[in-house]
């Protein structure tokens, strides 16, 4: 994927380079400025964004707590700043991001593959070497609630879907899966249930060969963009959002509806922001063309972010801190020797809401900005009356995580601190069930955006852990390496 064409970062006037840090600093400052001028100034003056970004992303959440209106303002200003600053670059020149839609796009064809299977109306998920359904699934979810791995509202949502298996029939909607090959995406579950799925991912033969093989064995249908040209259709599948944004947007907007635009894209490093920007521009354009009543939005929020969390999660964490008998002997000397950085309390007791900061420094500010764009879009779409499914997904052993040795080791030792790390099949199936719940019930529409984000959260225990996650991460990694040996 070329770094120099398509959706690109702006050139920083000070350095003369396309700076991801300069963009992140400016967008966060712009988002805060109308509601928190002091916080905006602090973000704008941050000289070491790579290390210092954490407090500013936390401030975005804290500043939005006083009212839903304030939170909406932060989201709208952040999105506006980001769209204004990002650029569109082609060989003939460079312009604002909006100029991506000014030229006549090339027309993409369509190819639909229909599965040969029978729709599965059994609500089940793989867990602990079995396929849990019915009462067994209820016991699994109840165990997660008991251990503080999910919010109680998650169990309520799963129960509603269990009581209404006909909800799995999504024939009244077209689900667009952007990032079709994503490990955390709902594609396989949707196809198993017989849904009509519109799939977008990069034009890579190996990727589509695998997805088509899966589709043929399942019950749903998969409609895929086809690049113009000659040769076998299966060699021309896919669409490049970053470099061919207008064509892919036009193709998605032309699909039969009502649409569910599911955003499951991911890329490494700075490319993640470019892809997230392209998807958000596509989303904004499709909603404008079709109307918010015809387009629902779906997202998965990362658990390694900053969230306001309910008082019940805070109380559970405080209780866990008091009961950590085995770590009390080490807790005081570790905290003393580390200057208070290790094994800190997760919250101030009694906070409601509390602020959970589970950001992992190694993931970097680009990852957090890309995920924050999604949360901001969810907030604004819901505020405008649109249907949104945004669920906090659990810590999961995806390929992108386990290839990072530090994160893989931390995940291996996380259970020592009450955090459950999910297998990809369990996580993506559970999140697909929650997506169905949201589409069929209209999703939560609560008093404040932070409450919408906390509803049915599958945080893996990060919200209820005794210790602030980052203060235990290094110890978890050491324990994980030791257990692997």
pLDDT tens per residue, range 238-289 = 999 999 999 999 999 999 989 999 999 999 999 999 999 999 999 999 999 9
> Per-residue pLDDT for 88 more than 70?
yes
Q: What percent of the chain has pLDDT over 90?
A: 80
pLDDT at 122: 93
pLDDT at 333: 58
pLDDT tier for residue 403 given thresholds of 50, 70 and 90: confident
Rounded CA separation 331/167 (Å): 48
Rounded CA separation 179/202 (Å): 8
Rounded CA separation 351/101 (Å): 46
pLDDT at 330: 58
Find all residues with CB under 8 Å of 467, minimum gap 6, and list them. Answer: 321, 343, 344, 345, 346, 417
**Region 300-309 average pLDDT:** 97
Tens of pLDDT, residue by residue over 31-41, are: 999 999 999 99
Of the listed ranges 197-211, 320-334, 396-410, the least confidently predicted one is: 320-334
pLDDT at 382: 96
Q: How far is the CA of 475 from the CAs of 396, 402, 405, 412, in angstroms?
A: 19, 17, 14, 11
Tens of pLDDT, residue by residue over 360-388, are: 888 899 999 999 999 999 999 999 999 99
SS3 letters across the chain: CCCCCEEECCECCCCCCECHHHHHHHHHHHHHCCCCHHHHHHHHCCCCHHHHHHHHHHHHHHHCCCCHHHHHHHHHHHHHHHHHHCEEEECCEEEEHHHHHCCCCCCCEEEEEECCCCCCCCCEEEECCEEEEHHHHHHHHHHHHHHCCCCHHHHHHHHHHHCCHHHHCCCCCEEEEECCCCCCCCHHHHHHCCCEEEEECCCCHHHHHHHHHHHHHCCCEEEEEECCCCCCHHHCECCCCCCCHHHHHHHHHCCCCCEEEEECCCCCCHHHHHHHHHHHHHHHHHHHHHCHHHEEEEEEECCCCEEEECHHHHHHHHHHHHHCHHHHHHHHHHHHHCCCCCCCECCCCCCCCEEEECCCHHHHHHHHHHHHHHHHHHHHHHHCCCCEEEEECCCECCHHHHCCHHHHHHHHHHHHHCCCCECHHHHHHHHHHHHHHHHHHCCCCCCCHHHHHHCCCCCCCCCCCCECHHHHHHHHHHHHHHHHC
Return the half-sphere exposure (C-beta side, CA atoms, 13 A cut-off) of residue 282. 33
Residue 105 tokens read as: 């796009």
pLDDT at 23: 97
Q: Strands of 388-392's sheet, edge to edge?
A: 109-114, 221-226, 196-200, 174-178, 259-263, 295-301, 388-392
pLDDT at 243: 96
> Per-residue pLDDT for 1 more than 70?
no
User: Of 42-46, 397-401, 407-411, 468-472, where does the model show the most confidence?
Assistant: 42-46
**Region 81-103 average pLDDT:** 95
Q: Strands of 93-96's sheet, edge to edge?
A: 6-8, 87-90, 93-96
Rounded CA separation 26/29 (Å): 5
pLDDT at 326: 45
Nearest to 177 by CA among 226, 228, 216, 211: 211
> Per-residue pLDDT for 99 more than 90?
yes
pTM: 0.94
> Per-residue pLDDT for 408 more than 70?
yes
pLDDT at 325: 46
pLDDT at 2: 60
Residue 399 tokens read as: 């390929």
β-pair partners for 89? 6, 94
Q: How far is the CA of 76 from the CAs of 31, 66, 425, in angstroms?
A: 8, 16, 35
Core vs surface per residue 221-238: b (16+ CB within 10 A) or e: bbbbbbbeeeeeeeebbb
> Per-residue pLDDT for 145 more than 90?
yes
Radius of gyration of the chain (CA): 22
> Per-residue pLDDT for 74 more than 60?
yes
pLDDT tier for residue 338 given thresholds of 50, 70 and 90: low
pLDDT at 274: 98
> Per-residue pLDDT for 195 more than 60?
yes
- Whether 219 contacts 208, CB under 8 Å: no
Q: What percent of the chain has pLDDT over 70?
A: 95
Q: Is 304 left (phi over 0), alpha (psi -120 to 50) or beta?
A: beta
pLDDT at 66: 97
> Per-residue pLDDT for 334 more than 80?
no
């Amino acid at each position: 994927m070329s770094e120099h064409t398509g959706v690109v970062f702006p050139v920083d006037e000070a350095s003369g380079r396309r700076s991801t840090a300069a963009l992140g600093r400016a967008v966060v400052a712009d988002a805060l400025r109308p509601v928190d001028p002091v916080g905006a100034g602090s973000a704008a003056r941050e000289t070491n964004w790579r290390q210092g970004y954490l407090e500013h992303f936390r401030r975005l959440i804290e500043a939005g707590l006083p009212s839903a209106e304030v939170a909406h303002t932060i989201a709208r200003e952040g999105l506006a700043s980001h769209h204004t600053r990002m650029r569109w670059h082609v060989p003939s020149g460079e312009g604002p991001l909006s100029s991506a839609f000014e030229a006549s796009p090339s027309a993409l064809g369509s190819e639909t593959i229909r599965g040969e299977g029978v729709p599965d109306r059994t609500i089940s998920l793989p867990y602990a070497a079995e396929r849990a359904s019915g009462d067994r699934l209820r016991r699994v979810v109840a165990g997660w609630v008991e251990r503080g791995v999910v919010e109680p509202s998650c169990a309520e949502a799963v129960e509603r879907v269990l009581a209404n298996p006909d909800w799995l029939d999504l024939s009244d909607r077209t689900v667009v899966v952007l990032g079709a090959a994503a490990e955390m995406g709902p594609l396989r579950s949707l196809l198993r249930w017989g849904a009509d799925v519109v799939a977008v991912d990069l034009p890579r033969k190996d990727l589509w060969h695998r997805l088509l093989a899966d589709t043929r064995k399942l019950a749903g249908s998969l409609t895929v963009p086809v690049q113009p040209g000659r040769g076998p259709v299966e060699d021309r599948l896919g669409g490049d959002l970053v470099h061919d944004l207008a064509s892919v947007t036009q193709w998605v907007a032309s699909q039969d509806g009502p649409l569910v635009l599911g955003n499951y894209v991911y890329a490494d490093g700075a490319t993640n922001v470019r892809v997230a920007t392209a998807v958000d521009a596509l989303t904004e354009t499709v909603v404008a063309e079709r109307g918010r009543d015809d387009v629902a939005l779906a997202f998965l929020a990362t658990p390694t972010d900053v969230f306001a969390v309910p008082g019940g999660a805070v109380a559970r964490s405080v209780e866990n801190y008091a009961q950590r008998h085995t770590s009390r002997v080490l807790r005081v000397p570790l905290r003393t020797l580390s200057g208070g950085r290790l094994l800190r309390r997760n919250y101030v007791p009694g906070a409601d809401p509390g602020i959970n900061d589970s950001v992992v420094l190694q993931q970097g500010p680009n990852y957090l900005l890309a995920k924050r764009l999604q949360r901001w879009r969810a907030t604004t779409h819901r505020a405008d009356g649109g249907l949104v499914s945004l669920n906090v997904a659990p810590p999961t052993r995806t390929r992108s995580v386990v290839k990072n040795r530090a994160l893989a080791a931390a995940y291996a030792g996380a259970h020592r601190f009450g955090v459950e790390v999910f297998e990809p099949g369990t996580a993506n199936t559970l999140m697909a069930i929650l997506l169905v719940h949201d589409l069929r019930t209209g999703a939560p529409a609560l008093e404040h955006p932070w409450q919408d984000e906390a509803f049915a959260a599958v945080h893996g225990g990060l919200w209820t852990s005794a210790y602030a996650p980052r203060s235990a991460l290094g110890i978890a990694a050491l324990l994980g390496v030791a257990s692997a040996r």
